[in-house]
Structure 1
Amino acid sequence: MTKVKTNNLLTPAQAAKDLVISVATLRKYSLIVERTTDNSQYFERNSQNNRLYTSKNIEDFKEMVKLSHGLKMTLETSAKQIYPTADVKDTSDAKQDDEVSELHATIAKLESENKKRELTISELQEELADTQKSKEQLQAELTTLKQQAAEKAENETAKKDENIKERVNEKVSDDKKSHWWNRFKA
């Protein structure tokens, strides 16, 4: 809201009287202009937030109404011919360009993050393959160690069995010599 001297500005009642319309109709025209220009502050306002009108505004309203009486013309289409909308389009185009730039930046960022993730995934896959190879090698070593342990156990068992047999045979032969009846045979 701007502070403006009200000497050369008309109140809604004065403007409606000059246009020979009601204040409600003036409000309707004002809303059409504000929508067309995409500027809710197109008209000056007083401290009570009431619109204030210049003589140029009154002339533009008269022209807008005059144009709207033509074939296939509405107040909205005639307002678009009178009031500047190019600035609005430029602003909206600039906003769209900014949004498109932001989207491109976001896409580039996401693609970069995606490439980093793919690289991490491939590194993890290589690490997993290396770990699986290490596991297979350890499994093979374990199998070899089990076989060696089994062979060693068999050899030790065979040696023990042989030792036991030798002792038994020695004992038996000692027993044969040491029995009292063997003394009489000689």
Structure 2
Amino acid sequence: MSKVKTNNLLTPAQAAKDLGISVATLRKYSLIVERTTENSKYFERNSQNNRLYTQKNIEDFKEMVKLSHGPKMTLETSAAQIYPTTDAKDKTETKQSDEITELQTTVSKLESENKKRELKIKDLQEELADVQKSKEELQVELDTLKQQAEEKIENNDPKKDENIKERVNEKVNDDKKGHWWNRFMG
């Protein structure tokens, strides 16, 4: 491995040497920084996915270690003082954005359900119109049969009277089988 710095980026071995620590300890510091910043890609990486460090990173690590030696301080608490954390404003904006997205989804679902209900209402209205038309046709036929019955009574023809009663009974029984609410509920 070359000891030449490329684009002012240091390999983990070079950064550890500059800090006077092991590569494993440098990795530990890096993980603390990534957790604190909530950014797993805080450090640049090479093609082998190894972290690369700037001189500013080295200075920040030194400050983090120095602060951690203070009373009631840990590496984590000192990292929180040095490294930027996610702003509360960013969290609020993200939360609001999530809520807006959720509301838009809910509105879309409600609009979809409303369209389905409107189609169902339209279908039911058409079915009701068909049933009303059938009822009117049956009423016309019943009126015709009643008129024929009255004429037969006037003519005093008993055979015709029985024939009309049979036709009326057939219509009533057919009507009971196919009543509109039976078709609607079925």
* Partner SS state of residue 99, structure 1: helix
Determine if the alignment matches structure 1 residue 135 to structure 2 residue 162.
no
Counterpart of 1:147? 146
2:38/2:86 contact within 8 Å kept = no
Amino acid at match of 1:133: Q
Counterpart of 1:104? 103
Amino acid at match of 1:81: Q
Amino acid at match of 1:22: S
Change (3 A) 1:127 1:159: closer
Change (3 A) 1:43 1:133: same
Root mean square deviation, CA, Å: 3.4
Please give the alpha-carbon distance, in whole angstroms, between the structure 2 residues aligned to 1:75 and 1:40. 17
Please give the alpha-carbon distance, in whole angstroms, between the structure 2 residues aligned to 1:66 and 1:159. 119
Determine if the alignment matches structure 1 residue 39 to structure 2 residue 39.
yes
Amino acid at match of 1:20: G
Largest Rg, 1 or 2: 1
* Partner SS state of residue 145, structure 1: helix
Deviations along 1:8-65, one digit per CA (max 9) or x if unpaired, are 4332122223323221111111122122223333223334332222222112112212
Gaps of 5+ in 2: 161-186
Residue-pair matches, total: 156
Counterpart of 2:166? none
Change (3 A) 1:18 1:126: same
* Partner SS state of residue 42, structure 2: coil
Counterpart of 1:179? none
Please give the alpha-carbon distance, in whole angstroms, between the structure 1 residues aligned to 2:46 and 2:74. 30
Identity %: 55
Trace 1:1-186 onto structure 2 (pairs within 5 A). Answer: 6=6, 8-86=8-86, 92-150=91-149, 155=155, 157=157
Please give the alpha-carbon distance, in whole angstroms, between the structure 2 residues aligned to 1:110 and 1:158. 66
Please give the alpha-carbon distance, in whole angstroms, between the structure 2 residues aligned to 1:73 and 1:121. 67
Gaps of 5+ in 1: 161-186
2:10/2:53 contact within 8 Å kept = yes
Counterpart of 2:171? none
2:13/2:23 contact within 8 Å kept = yes
* Partner SS state of residue 41, structure 1: coil
Deviation at 1:153, TM superposition (A): 6.1
Amino acid at match of 2:25: T
Change (3 A) 1:8 1:115: closer
TM-score by length of 2: 0.63
Change (3 A) 1:132 1:158: closer
Change (3 A) 1:93 1:152: same
Higher relative contact order (CA 8 A, sep 6+): 1
* Partner SS state of residue 84, structure 2: coil
Deviation at 1:120, TM superposition (A): 3.4
TM-score by length of 1: 0.63
